[in-house]
Structure 1
Amino acid sequence: MNDSPGWASPGSSPSDGERPGAPSDQPASGGPKWSAEQPPPGDWSAPGAGPAPTPPPPAPPQQGQGWGPYGGQQHGAPYGSPYGGQYGYPGGPGQWGKPPAAKPGVIPLRPLDMGEILDGAVATMRAHWRSVLPITLVVATVVQVLSLLLQKYVMSDLALATDPAADIEQTINTLGTASAVTAGALFIQALGGIVATAMLTMIFSRAVLGNSSTVSAAWRDARPQLLRLTGLTLLMGLGLISLVTVLIVPGLLARSAGLVVLGGFAAVPLATWLWIKFGLASPALMLEKSTVFTSLRRSSKLVKGTWWRIFGITLLTGIITGIIAAIIVWPLTFLGVALFGGGMGGLQAGTASTAWGALILSGIGAIIAQTIVMPMQSGVTVLLYVDQRIRREGLDLELARAAGVENYGTTGG
């Protein structure tokens, strides 16, 4: 029996193991779980909207109407499944094919293929750009301004610190200052990424239902979970750092290059496996209103058995976004070096990386690239989470009812 929580609307209470509105004497665990039963129409409402209207009872099946939840007979298919059943398509029996799925938002409510996941992310960016782009633009601008200042001043200080003429005390002070500034910049970057991820998750979850969202509404829905999302991000980051440290430090202590290389070869695939295994924890935490460790368990459960598929989609997304970023950033970087950094001579002298003109042009390119790439990466993660829940838990039924799709998941005679 399915023990998955329901689709929690942004801003609702937790739904881990208990159906909202269930009697108070119903146990949270050990008893029947509500997600295995079909909730009554209108039980789940779309974020920011009232309850969905109660659909009328399904009409009796008629010959030639099609099959499944799309208005006709269905033979041999599970309850609510849009697959299987009669040979035919909606509007005429006796022909091969499958019915079109309901699509209230950016994706059809059925298991998705890789192209549909990528298209859904792009479609959300295009349809809801007034909400998506301001979030990513602000975060990308703050991050790049800090990076520019870091590269301009801290890198110059590091160059002075490595000068043989500098005394030891000056070198230590400069390195300490540079380390503190770098750590502060990285912290602000991580904080900005967490805020952007949380708000984008809410926007994409609404887009699945065909609902729009404002920046203020996304912030209001995401804010209650920000502290937990920060804890999840720090936990995953520290976990990966600890893993790499445990596998590589013994070789460094033993001063064995072979042992270091062996530890590195072991760390990369193991870290990749863990990163994909827990890659859906962020949307699970935000949309199910769960805790840090519950979201990690949910991600592990959803990814189980489909690790390679999720890895492939994640890798392809990384390649696509990397190419997009390179197309935008590198031309502006080369132009900045050529115009303001002294060209090849500046590169050889090391002055090109600290020239204001080159840094500004490179930063502008990075801001544009991150503004485009960040929502695409977040969108793919959210849609992977939705797709896995549709495949494993029949989430499409709840989404259809939340979107007000009538007669979805009903059977004929």
Structure 2
Amino acid sequence: MSTPDAPGTPDGAAPDARDEQEAGPAAGATQPASSGWGTPSYGQPGYGPATGSPAAQPRYGQYGQPEQQGQQGQGQYGQPGQYGQPEQHGQGQYGQPQYGQQQYGQAPQYGQPQYGQPGYGPPAGFGGVPYVPPASKPGIVPLRPLTLGEIFDGSFGAIRHNPRVMLGMTTIVVVAATIVGALIGYAFSGYVADLFFALPSDAGFGGMESQFATVYSTFFGTGITTALATPIVSGLLTVSIGQSVIGRRATVGEVWSQVGRRAWFLLGFTLLLALASTVLVTALVLLAVLAFTVDPALGGITILLAIPAYLVLVVWVGVRTGLVPPALALEGQPFWATVTRVWRLTRGSFWRLLGIYLLAYVAIYVVTQILITPFSLVGGIALGAGQVFVGNLVLTLGIAVSTIALTLFLGSVVALLYIDVRMRREGLDVELAAAASEQPAA
């Protein structure tokens, strides 16, 4: 399902993780406007293709090799006191007293204290691990590979950092999509009602076929429109989070102008996944029908094998392509080039991404059920009392609230996962730190 990491490669990396760096600019070069950072003229960290020399090992930012630190007297972390060989403190030649050897009567050397060799420099970590300075945090997350808690915390921190975009624009887009979907569903409710009236009288609707038809058609309409609006919202969230990571608060105009140029790509990717899923289901159904015509037992076995195969394939493709929307919104590359690049970028990270996706879905599912329960109760009571319009309005409002919460949280998690994977695979944290340092003082 995913290619295992080769020995010596970083966590989540693959041996060919830099195969697309050959066409990228040199590390530290300023990315063009198509790199996905919109209008800011400073601190463009370049959420584009991987940067850096193809022969260089991918650096983990703060966790990378120190590169000899400019060869400061060959000063190496863990061997302090050698920066330029200053005065040989370990020899203790002040009048030749040899403090580290205690020549006054040859006093015992208490565990070889070596007073002339103090540990100048940062102390070693636990178990002799070299000391690593803490990662900088100019924005909502530290600029280094992120932990699960930091990804979740950064999702809420992004809302606090830029609520006008994160919460305001998300609410506007989702509410607009919900209203349009409800109107479309209401317009087709008459056709749905005819289907309900065609059912047997003992179906259990109790003469409320028209009310149920209105509710179902509204749900169907809002489901379609919110599914189309979700990638647009994800793009908005991704662009805002991409700036919040370096401590910059993007404006509504900047975010909308950048996402507007890539909106068709975002919609096209969603429709492509839906089309692929439909074709796969159709093929499996036809295969099952063909198996039943040959032998009923063979048909049953085909269904038992087709269902888990479908679920495994959907999960595998979904995880490997889950970072395509943020890449489309930020990188500014052609559609298929971006999809291919994300496929390679997620190689070797399948299980980690799958675990985070599942945990995020479970957490937000519980929250959305809590949010939608009051709306469902009130809407159901109104429908039972014959107030179709009021009940339908309450239920639609509950759908909008739950969709906002779902899209806001999951979109933020996916955007931060995209940045995290690139920091692990391509050393993006180094470029982000440089971009954050170039910003004007607030």
Answer with 1 or 2: which has the greater Rg.
Answer: 2
Corresponding residue to 2:234 among 197, 214, 230? 197
2:432 maps to amino acid: L
Q: Shift in Å at residue 98 of structure 1?
A: 4.1
Deviations 1:25-79 (A, max 9, x none): xxxxxxxxx3xxx326x778975434359xxxxxxxxxxxxxx988xxx9x9354
2:232 maps to amino acid: V
Say whether 1:289 aligns with 2:332. Answer: yes
Q: CA RMSD in A?
A: 3.7
* 2:365 alignment partner in structure 1: 322
* 2:383 alignment partner in structure 1: 341
Say whether 1:17 aligns with 2:5. Answer: no
CA distance in 1, matches of 2:407, 2:68: 35
For normalisation by structure 1, the TM-score amounts to 0.71
CA distance in 1, matches of 2:184, 2:282: 26
CA distance in 1, matches of 2:195, 2:343: 46
* 1:62 alignment partner in structure 2: none
* 1:163 alignment partner in structure 2: 197
User: 3-state SS of the aligned residue for 2:23?
Assistant: coil
* 1:123 alignment partner in structure 2: 157
Q: Shift in Å at residue 156 of structure 1?
A: 6.0
Say whether 1:365 aligns with 2:398. Answer: yes
**In percent, how many aligned pairs have the same letter?**
27
Deviations 1:294-334 (A, max 9, x none): 11111111211110100010111111111111110012211
2:139 maps to amino acid: G
* 1:49 alignment partner in structure 2: 40
* 2:28 alignment partner in structure 1: 39
**Is contact 1:152-1:355 (8 Å) kept?**
no
Corresponding residue to 1:215 among 236, 239, 252? 252
**Is contact 1:277-1:299 (8 Å) kept?**
yes
* 1:331 alignment partner in structure 2: 374
Q: Shift in Å at residue 383 of structure 1?
A: 0.9
CA distance in 2, matches of 1:385, 1:47: 18
CA 283–357 in structure 1, closer or farther in 2 if over 3 Å, else same:
same
CA distance in 1, matches of 2:68, 2:234: 33
1:249 maps to amino acid: L
Number of residue pairs matched?
337
User: 3-state SS of the aligned residue for 1:403?
Assistant: helix
Q: Shift in Å at residue 184 of structure 1?
A: 6.9
Say whether 1:134 aligns with 2:176. Answer: no
1:93 maps to amino acid: P
* 1:60 alignment partner in structure 2: none
1:387 maps to amino acid: D
CA distance in 2, matches of 1:224, 1:208: 22
**Is contact 1:87-1:95 (8 Å) kept?**
no
CA 266–187 in structure 1, closer or farther in 2 if over 3 Å, else same:
same
Q: Shift in Å at residue 396 of structure 1?
A: 0.7
CA 52–185 in structure 1, closer or farther in 2 if over 3 Å, else same:
closer
Gaps of at least 5 residues in structure 2 are: 1-15, 45-59, 70-75, 81-119, 201-214, 293-298
Deviations 1:89-140 (A, max 9, x none): x985245464321111111010011111111111101221111122211222
CA 332–262 in structure 1, closer or farther in 2 if over 3 Å, else same:
same
CA distance in 1, matches of 2:276, 2:61: 45
User: 3-state SS of the aligned residue for 1:341?
Assistant: helix
* 2:139 alignment partner in structure 1: 105
Say whether 1:260 aligns with 2:294. Answer: no
